[in-house]
Chains A and B, each alone.
Chain A
Amino acid sequence: MTSIGSLAGRPMKAARYGDRGFGSIAFLVALWAAVAFAVLTLGVLLVDSFMDGAVRLDAALFTSYSSQILPETAGARAAILGSAWVIVVTAFLAIPLGVAAGVYLEEFADERRWYNKLVEVNLTNLAAVPAIVYGMLTAGLALAVGLERRVVLAGGIALALLILPVIIIATREAVRAVPQEIRDGSLALGATPLQTVWRQTLPAAVPGIATGAILALSRALGEAAPLLLLGGLVFVNYDPDGLMSGFTTLPIQIFNWASQPQLAFQQVASAAIIVMLFLLLVMNALAIFIRNRYQKRW
């Protein structure tokens, strides 16, 4: 058994195990080049932004509102708070709905029914729909129900729609990874299917779901298009204070600053980019941490 296992593992690590054929070396170099390109791009982006924005990584960036007249002291306070508001609303809308939908599809839906097949196929398509389409959808929805579309709630809805398919798919994968034996064990003790989901399947799937949800939220955090389409405000000089409050977010603010001609605006835009990249890296690191920390051994 072991000898077969180690033989099967060999082609993957061809070069390391002494395969010096030209083809395998060239393939390995190509793989390294691909990785290097990705890392290098990220590095250049970070260094470039940092060099441009370093002068504006000051307290005013976090405490001041934006300004049209004094770009040297303009800050992203409203954008940071706005991003926080919108992301929290997005999380509250998308996570319960997405998890519920994922659990239903994986644990209860009869795959042979045509409507479940339809949902199945469209879910993957939805995950690939451009973000701006969700902005249009939300704008139409807001118009239909008479909701002001430039408010936190509308922004949260648009981003929740955007990441819903991603969360559903992540939930399904996490739930599917829970071994059938656990469900069987629970059911054989007289637990109902619903109890089995609540007490066994879902808790065991939480690390996977959390990882997927955080990655989805970090995508939402960096998204500007759907919010711009909703008429997201680019100049806000007050703190958002509720679901019906006007708002701006970091990507919108960056978009606005970066389109101004003055050098000072370019600098503050770079500084805001650094803040946003830092937030994204923290969220992704958290996702990786959760995945590694709570990985289940079965």
Chain B
Amino acid sequence: MATYSTGTAAPSVNLGEPPSSPAREEHLHATGGLQHHVAHKHVAPEIDPVMACENVSVYYGDFRAVTDVSLDFGKNEITALIGPSGCGKSTLLRSLNRMNDLVEGARVEGRVTYHEKNVYDRDVDPIEVRRRIGMVFQKPNPFPKSIYDNIAYGPRVTGMKVDSMDDVVEESLTRAALWDEVKDKLKQSALGLSGGQQQRLCIARTLAVKPDVILMDEPASALDPIATARIEDLMLELREDYAIIVVTHNMQQAARVADRTAFFTALAEEGSGDRTGLLVEYDLTSNIFQNPRDKRTEDYISGRFG
């Protein structure tokens, strides 16, 4: 497991500096215990951004779903996006790896940068963006194939040069804390796994293409509490090597795992009356939950609305 590193096989498309091997040593003190209370300890006040939004607005046709969001996402940090339904947090997440391109009429204004390169620039291939910025969805979505083929799918379709696919599969499953449970049934259908196992398989599948940012759209909302706890432990482990951006409806989850939290809300726009998503407050998770600066944040986290 210690030999695993990210980004070694990254083809050079114009995406700025290739993801460098994460400096694991800096964070080793956090690997020993995965108790939730250590989650925030290593966070530096300054962000070392791997991705950033600069005045990002997202439209579906004429409807503006997200308005003017500026936000940095730190390396080796878990960033949570929270807020009431319809506040645009999932939309923003899907615009980070250009999954929104696939929605007819979707359009992004402003800059979404990855290693300081705008992923919406003309010379950037969205396919490459999606490979570098992995995504895990709300509902576990394993392919109707074997466990092995689920993991091998990404490296195969992206033409990654791998010495041994068996090693990639084992590494990915090990990193996703699934190897011991499935090592004897790699050739069996992934649809036979439990929901929690399926979700960890989806995370493993994402790791196999060696991204350095992982987006998670409510990754545990379809899972039971035990499976949820395992996913959260896994997120804390993966933070050592990846930047994780997670949308969650579960505020306890944000409090448990996130280093920083961004609170969004939905506001009726003047004129049209359409509701659009706004970033209210972005800070260390401890500040958001214990010491919010904005009244709306305070109301939301204390359960007064949303």
Interface 9-mer from A69-77, A153-161, A183-191, A255-263: A183-191
Interface size class of A (residues with CB under 8 A): 20 to 34
- Which residues of the other chain, B, contact A182 by a CB distance below 8 angstroms? 141, 143-144
Decide if B104 is an interface residue (CB 8 Å cutoff). Answer: yes
For A103, the chain B residues whose CB sits under 8 A away are none
Interface segment out of the listed B202-210, B225-233, B261-269: B202-210
Binary A-proximity of B129-158 (CB < 8 A = 1, otherwise 0): 011001101010111100000000110011
In the assembled complex, the Cα of A265 lies from the Cα of B41 at a distance in Å of: 94
Confirm or deny: B44 has a beta carbon within 8 angstroms of a beta carbon on chain A. Answer: no
Instruction: Judge if A199 is at the interface, Cβ distance under 8 Å.
Output: yes
Find chain B residues with CB under 8 A from A241 CB: none
Nearest neighbor of B155 in chain A, beta-carbon distance: A189
**Known interface pairs A188-B130, A188-B206; A199-B153 also in contact (CB < 8 Å):** yes
Q: Which residues of A262-298 have CB atoms within 8 Å of chain B's CB atoms?
A: 296-298
In the assembled complex, A16 has its CB within 8 A of some CB on chain B: no
A20 contacts chain B at the CB level, 8 A cutoff: no
* Chain B residues positioned under 8 Å from A122 (CB to CB): none
Asked if B153 contacts A297 (CB within 8 A), the reply is no
Question: Which residues of the other chain, B, contact A116 by a CB distance below 8 angstroms?
Answer: none
Distance in angstroms from B238 CB to nearest chain A CB is: 16
**Which residue in B104, B141, B154 is a CB contact (below 8 Å) of A184?**
B141
Contact call A187/B141, Cβ cutoff below 8 A: no
Asked whether, in the complex, the Cβ of B134 is within 8 Å of the Cβ of A188, the reply is yes
Q: Distance in Å from the Cβ of A110 to the closest Cβ of chain B?
A: 7
Contacting pair B135 A188 (CB below 8 A):
yes
Q: Does B2 contact A (CB under 8 A)?
A: no
Inter-subunit contact A185/B131 (CB<8 Å): no
The interface residues of chain A lying within 8 Å CB-to-CB of B142 are 185
> Which of A182, A185, A195 neighbours the largest number of chain B CB atoms within 10 Å of its CB?
A185
Give Cα A192–Cα B157 distance, bound, in whole angstroms: 8
Contacts of A110 in B (CB 8 A): 104
The CA-CA distance from A48 to B104 in the complex, in Å, is: 58
Provide the residues of chain A in CB contact with B154, threshold 8 Å: 189-191
* A162 CB within 8 Å of chain B: no
B99 contacts A by Cβ under 8 Å: yes
- B34 touches A (CB below 8 Å): no
Contact of A187 among B99, B104, B144, B191 (CB under 8 A): B99
What is the CA–CA distance of A184 and B104 in the complex, to the nearest angstrom? 14
Q: Is the CB of A188 within 8 A of B99?
A: yes
Cα(A290)–Cα(B104), bound, Å: 35
Which of chain B's residues 78-126 have a Cβ closer than 8 Å to chain A?
97, 99, 102, 104
Q: Contact partner of A200 among B130, B135, B143, B206, CB < 8 A?
A: B143
- Say which residue of A181, A199, A296, A297 sits within 8 Å of B141 (CB atoms): A181
Task: Report how far A192 CA is from B130 CA in the complex, Å.
Answer: 10
**Interface readout for A39-62 with B: 1 if CB under 8 Å, 0 if not?**
000000000000000000000000
Q: Which of B102, B104, B131, B141 has the most CB of A within 10 A?
A: B141
- The answer to whether the Cβ of B128 comes within 8 Å of any Cβ in the partner chain is yes
Kindly list chain B residues whose C-beta atoms are within 8 Å of the C-beta of A216: none
Q: Which of chain B's residues have a CB closer than 8 A to the CB of A185? A: 137, 141-143, 202, 205
Q: Which of A142-161 contact B (CB under 8 A)?
A: none
Which residues on A sit within 8 Å (CB–CB) of B128? Answer: 190
CB distance from B105 to the nearest CB of A (A): 9
Beta-carbon contacts under 8 Å, B186-205 to A? 191, 202, 205
User: In the complex the two chains form, is A296's CB within 8 Å of B131's CB?
Assistant: no
What are the residues of chain B within 8 A of A186 when measuring CB–CB? Answer: 143, 153, 157
Q: Which residues does chain B contribute within 8 Å of A190, judged by CB atoms?
A: 127-128, 130-131, 154, 157-158, 209
A204 at the interface (CB under 8 A from B): yes
Which of A110, A191, A297 neighbours the largest number of chain B CB atoms within 10 Å of its CB? A191
Closest residue to A183 on the B side, CB-wise? B102
0/1 interface trace, chain A 168-205, chain B, CB 8 Å (1 if under): 00000000000101101111111110010001100010
Contact, CB under 8 Å: B130 / A187: yes
Contacts A110-B104, A112-B104, A199-B153 given; does A189 touch B158 at CB 8 Å: yes
Does B143 lie within 8 Å of A195, measured CB to CB?
A: no
Within 8 Å CB of B104, what residues of A?
110, 112
In the assembled complex, which residues on chain B have CB atoms less than 8 Å from the CB atom of A184? 99, 102, 135, 137, 141
- Does B102 lie within 8 Å of A187, measured CB to CB? yes
- By the criterion CB–CB under 8 Å, are B139 and A181 in contact? yes
Chain A residues whose C-beta falls within 8 Å of the C-beta of B191 in the assembled complex: 297-298
Q: Closest residue of chain A to B132, judged by CB?
A: A190
Q: Which residues of chain B in 235-278 are interfacial with respect to chain A, using CB atoms and an 8 Å cutoff? A: none
Query: In whole angstroms, what is the CA distance A192 to B142 when docked?
Result: 18
**Using an 8 Å CB-CB cutoff, how does the interface string of B150-193 with A read, 1 for contact, 0 for none?**
00011001100000000000000000000000000000000100
Known: A185-B141, A190-B157. 13 other contacts (CB 8 A): A181-B137, A182-B141, A182-B143, A184-B141, A185-B137, A185-B142, A188-B135, A189-B130, A189-B205, A190-B128, A191-B154, A297-B191, A298-B144
Q: Which 6 pairs, one residue from A and one from B, show the smallest C-beta to C-beta distance? A: A190-B131, A181-B141, A189-B154, A188-B135, A191-B157, A185-B141
Jot down 27 A-B pairs with beta carbons below 8 A, ordered by A: A110-B104, A179-B141, A181-B137, A182-B144, A184-B99, A184-B137, A184-B141, A185-B137, A185-B143, A187-B130, A188-B97, A188-B99, A188-B134, A188-B135, A189-B130, A189-B134, A189-B158, A189-B209, A190-B158, A190-B209, A191-B127, A192-B157, A195-B157, A199-B153, A199-B157, A200-B143, A297-B191
Residues of A within 8 A of B (CB): 110, 112, 179, 181-182, 184-192, 195, 199-200, 204, 296-298
